[in-house]
């Protein structure tokens, strides 16, 4: 919300590789430049784009090891 409100930007999580993100997070307490660069490169001004938001949810689940469902599949299901 801070990025959106203050900068007019959000992170497009679909542009961040899982392994790169996890390694950068692991090292961030010692040196946080890597995570800053990774996140800065993924910034977008598409702050109201539903697809960017939904891909962020998918990326979050993927980072946690869940990849059974994609938000796109759930949206298109008839349940």
In the numeric block, the tokens 């997070």 are attached to: 25
- Provide the 8-state DSSP code for 13: G
Helix (H), strand (E) at residue 10: strand 10-11
Confidence at residue 64, expressed as pLDDT on a 0 to 100 scale = 76
Q: What is the pLDDT of residues 22-72, one digit of tens each?
A: 899 999 999 999 999 999 999 999 999 988 888 888 888 877 777 666 666
pLDDT at 3: 82
2-76 CATH: 1.10.3290.10
Residue 78 has pLDDT above 60, yes or no: no
Q: How confident is the model at residue 8 (pLDDT cuts 50, 70, 90)?
A: very high
Q: What's the pTM value of the predicted model, to 2 decimals?
A: 0.70
**End-to-end alpha carbon distance in the chain:** 32
Q: Average pLDDT in the 2-10 region?
A: 88
Beta bridge partners of 44: 10
Domain boundaries, the chain: 2-76
Residue 1 makes CB contacts below 8 A (sequence gap 6+) with none
Q: Which tokens hold the place of 9? A: 């930007």
């Amino acid at each position: 919300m801070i990025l959106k409100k203050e900068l007019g930007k959000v992170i497009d999580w679909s542009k961040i590789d899982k392994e790169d993100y996890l390694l950068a997070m692991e090292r961030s307490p010692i040196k946080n430049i890597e995570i800053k660069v990774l996140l800065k490169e993924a910034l977008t001004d598409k702050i109201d784009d539903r697809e960017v938001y939904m891909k962020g949810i998918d990326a979050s689940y993927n980072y946690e090891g869940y990849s059974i469902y994609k938000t796109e599949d759930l949206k298109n299901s008839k349940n």
